[in-house]
Copies of this chain bind each other. A is one copy, B any other.
Amino acid sequence: MELKIALLPGDGIGPEVTEQAVKCLHAVEEAFNHHFVFTEAHAGAIAIDHTGDPLPEATLQVCKESKVVLFGAIGDPKYDNDPSAKVRPEQGLLKLRKELGLFTNIRPLKVYPSLVDRSPLRPEKVAGCDFTIYRELTGGIYFGKKTLSDDGTVASDLCEYSEKEIGRIAHMAFKAAKARNKKLTLIDKANVLETSRLWRKVVTRIGESYPEVALDFLFVDNAAMQMILNPKQFDVILTENMFGDIISDEASVIGGSIGLLASASVGDGHAMFEPIHGSFPEGAGKNIANPIASILSASMLLDHVGLAEEAATVRAAVDKAIEKNVVTPDLNPDGNYGTDQVGDFIAHSI
């Protein structure tokens, strides 16, 4: 297969981990006789440094010309505590999601048996946890109208959702649930928000076409508790953009290994794959960043383009590294493996 892949390594540890994922994709090319064409471009703080724009037109163009994007991480502390900054790295990410129409963010969460002891939760709470979050990514309060009064004393953000926006991601989530354990949990705040009531209505109606899937509802405050009290109850979670941001990050730490979690952001045409960890600027350039989340993002990419066997091979190579403890210091503080070595080991296993 010939495939164009846009590479956006971004900031902080982004470039280092993406490099390892690319190594693994090269290994897949060789082993399975494919041809991947990588085109690299700047996004985030590094793009601001070069061009003043977190998502330069050239970068957007590269992404639009590729079916799939492999993304590293963006963000730099120099922009974080300046709420008045006009240009911020995150704007690049948000614009990219919108421009590519990536309306669904998918985050699988599986707790590795050998890592259960690293969880901040009691082992019996998390052992066997296996669920996926479907977060709406191009609507809601993230993209609604924002206002600031002329005197700067009153601000507002509008959260808006249409039946169409809810319906398209709901179908994806129901399909996923049907292929998994047949349970879908909608997280909302229908006792307070009009948008949540619309979500509940639309999702309930769509659920009628998926009679084999059991649908239930959780208010977001209760969901934040359930994620700690009993995360094993979840199979597929569906939620809107802002709640998804919070709940999926909460979920990401219960496994004790955020450096292992990958995500896909998909739409009708394009798709982007990225580790869920951030740019971790303090760790940049030290060869300590865990490349596995980025490598698993690459395996989601392969799955997305129909290369299921190739994707499974990458996952098996990752499993082997974890099993043999060929992992970075976040997972094994006494080990001797850097970002590079872990990437090499996995690439060689492919």
* A residues apposed to B, CB below 8 Å: 80-81, 83-84, 88, 90, 94, 120-122, 125, 141-142, 144, 146-148, 152-164, 189-198, 200-201, 217, 220-222, 224-225, 227-229, 242-243, 245-250, 252-254, 258
Contact = CB atoms under 8 A, between A and B. Distances in A.
Contacts of A200: 83
Contacts of A163: 152-154
29 contacts: A80-B217, A81-B217, A83-B196, A90-B191, A90-B192, A120-B125, A121-B121, A121-B228, A147-B194, A148-B197, A153-B163, A153-B164, A154-B160, A155-B160, A155-B194, A156-B159, A156-B160, A159-B159, A189-B245, A221-B248, A224-B224, A224-B247, A224-B250, A225-B258, A227-B250, A228-B228, A228-B253, A228-B254, A229-B253
A154 B161 contact: yes
Given A148-B194, A155-B194, A156-B195, 18 more contacts: A80-B217, A81-B217, A83-B200, A90-B192, A120-B122, A121-B121, A147-B194, A148-B197, A154-B162, A154-B163, A155-B197, A157-B158, A189-B242, A221-B249, A225-B258, A227-B250, A229-B253, A250-B250
B252 A225 contact: yes
Contacts of A160: 154-156
B158 A158 contact: yes
A142 B193 CA distance: 7
Contacts of A258: 225
Contacts of A154: 160-163, 198
Nearest to A164: B153
A83 B144 CA distance: 23
A175 B260 CA distance: 41
A151 to B, nearest CB: 9
Centre residue among A81, A147, A192, A197 by max chain B CB count within 10 A: A192
Given A121-B122, A191-B90, A222 B198 contact: no
A182 to B, nearest CB: 20
B153 A84 contact: no
B83 A201 contact: yes
Nearest to A125: B120
Return the 4 tightest CB-CB contacts between A and B, nearest first: A146-B194, A83-B197, A224-B250, A155-B198
Contacts of A217: 80-81
A120 B159 contact: no
A49 to B, nearest CB: 18
A156 B253 contact: no
A280 B111 CA distance: 31
